[in-house]
Amino acid sequence: MRRRLTFHRLGRVPYGPTHALQQALVDARSRGAVGDTVLLLEHEPVVTLGRGARAGHVLLSREALAARGIELHETGRGGDVTYHGPGQLVVYPIVDLSPDRRDVRRYVRDLEEAMIRVAARWGVRAERIAGLNGAWVLARSPGESDRKIGAVGVRISRWITMHGLAFNVTTALDAFRLIVPCGIRDRGVTSLAQETGTEPDMRDVQDAFVEVLAELFEAEIEVRDGPPALPATGGVPPAAGAEVVEAPGIEPGSEAAPHRPLRA
């Protein structure tokens, strides 16, 4: 029986309520109250702090960020510090990997492969770098540095996925100068617009991800505008004792860490 993925286009949304929506969907999916769901969105400007965040990697105070219209949030994901904002496509799959896809490394590689294939549709060659997560445009000439076009990081509880990938489409890259993205100083970030010299349409990029993820997951698809309907009960974190697997979370420039089991 083929999987069915239901994609929801949310538009531009703040980080906090969207994180709460993910948690509610994870709970509902674990109870079988909803099917496999994928959220497609952009975030309002926000700096997020992962479990491994260092204070020195945020280069402005909370007040200074707020004066620029940028929120600051602590999260439960792995990794260090990142920026999300308009022009960056964020894809949050809330998917049950059971019974046939219970392989964390395969899942992470599938998300990386999705970004690589989408970049290729715009003529951009993205690749993996050993030891680092995400999709990278490698330096081709002296004076260039490798540039991250998209990141992938996941949290998996009882084989239900949370978080996902972030892909820079027309992102204002100057915003990354407000932080040390995941503590990596010797590599840069880039976007589809930066690499092509064009302004790709966000909806076209969303459509490309829908098609590529359907291929990778061998799934039937449905695409809807607006958030998914939730059952009456939901929105709780994993139960105590539930196995959780984390990887650095949705952050261009993040350094990949081993997928390590943690206790909720």
Contact status, residue 98 vs residue 70, Cβ threshold 8 Å: no
29: helix, strand or coil: helix
pLDDT in tens, 65-89: 999 999 998 876 666 777 899 999 9
- The confidence score (pLDDT) of residue 184 equals 62
Question: How does residue 237 score in pLDDT terms, banded at 50, 70 and 90?
Answer: very low
Strand 188-189 relative to strand 219-225, pairing = unpaired
Task: Tell me the β-bridge partners of 83.
Answer: 47
**Residues contacting 172, CB < 8 A, separation 6+:** 85, 86, 87
Count the Cβ atoms, other than its own, within 10 Å of residue 143.
5
In this prediction, what percent of the chain has a pLDDT beyond 70?
84
Nearest-angstrom CA–CA distance, 17 and 21:
6
Is pLDDT of 113 > 80? Answer: yes
194 alpha carbon, distance to own chain's centre? 20
Tokens in use for 101?
């896809």
In CATH, what class is 3-263? alpha beta
Q: Say which of 182, 202, 205, 250 is annotated catalytic.
A: 182
Is pLDDT of 251 > 60? Answer: no
Q: Would you call 182 a catalytic residue per the annotation?
A: yes
Task: Tell me the mean pLDDT in the region 128-140.
Answer: 92
Question: How does residue 241 score in pLDDT terms, banded at 50, 70 and 90?
Answer: very low
Three-state SS letters, 47-80: EEECCCCCHHHECCCHHHHHHCCCEEEECCCECC
Q: Which of 3-12, 58-67, 119-128 has the lowest mean pLDDT?
A: 58-67
The closest alpha carbon to 182, from 114, 247, 106, belongs to 247
- The confidence score (pLDDT) of residue 257 equals 32
The phi and psi torsions of 190 (rounded to 5 degrees) equal -145, 180
16: helix, strand or coil: helix
The closest alpha carbon to 94, from 143, 184, 157, belongs to 157
263 vs 42, higher pLDDT? 42
Is pLDDT of 151 > 90? Answer: no
Where do the domains of the chain lie? Answer: 3-263
DSSP, residue by residue, 192-225: HHHHHSS---HHHHHHHHHHHHHHHHTEEEEEEE
Task: Tell me the mean pLDDT in the region 104-115.
Answer: 96
Task: Tell me the mean pLDDT in the region 97-106.
Answer: 95
Q: What is the mean pLDDT of the chain?
A: 85
pLDDT in tens, 153-202: 788 999 999 989 999 999 999 988 887 655 566 788 999 999 999 999 99
Nearest-angstrom CA–CA distance, 20 and 117:
30
pLDDT in tens, 15-71: 999 999 999 999 999 999 999 999 999 999 998 887 677 778 888 888 999 999 999
Strand 147-157 relative to strand 188-189, pairing = parallel
The pTM of this model reads 0.87
